[in-house]
Amino acid sequence: MKKIGIVGIMIVAILSGCGSKPTWIGIWSGAGHPTTYFIVENVTVPAKDIGREYRVLNITNHAAPETSNRLPSGTRIYTVRGKNLSKEFAVEIGPGKFLKATYSGTNKP
């Protein structure tokens, strides 16, 4: 539990102290599809709205191109009940704590 708590604190510090550049996540959907980018907002998603686990960030494995400019490898991404996954998902920042990530486009923010 301490490790997850420290990661959560680290992520919140990263999001709040970023300066002008937003925290983004890039998701690659396979050959023939461009990488899509999502901006992680400082907006809480209630735990009751969290659906299934969707992806895990792995910035060190080139075969797993789910990346972020600031979030650590191993950060978990979840669907949000009632929301279109191509437009919005949730990022876990600690046990039962999630932030909203919204679609930004196919150009890196």
User: Burial of 86 by CB count in 10 Å (0-12 exposed, 13-18 middle, 19+ buried)?
Assistant: exposed
Q: How many domains does the chain have?
A: 1
Q: Which domain holds residue 18?
A: 2-105
pLDDT, one tens digit for every residue, the chain (109 residues):
444 444 444 455 455 544 578 999 999 888 888 889 999 999 999 999 999 999 998 865 555 578 899 999 899 999 999 999 999 999 999 999 999 999 999 999 9
Instruction: Report helix, strand or coil for 50.
Output: strand
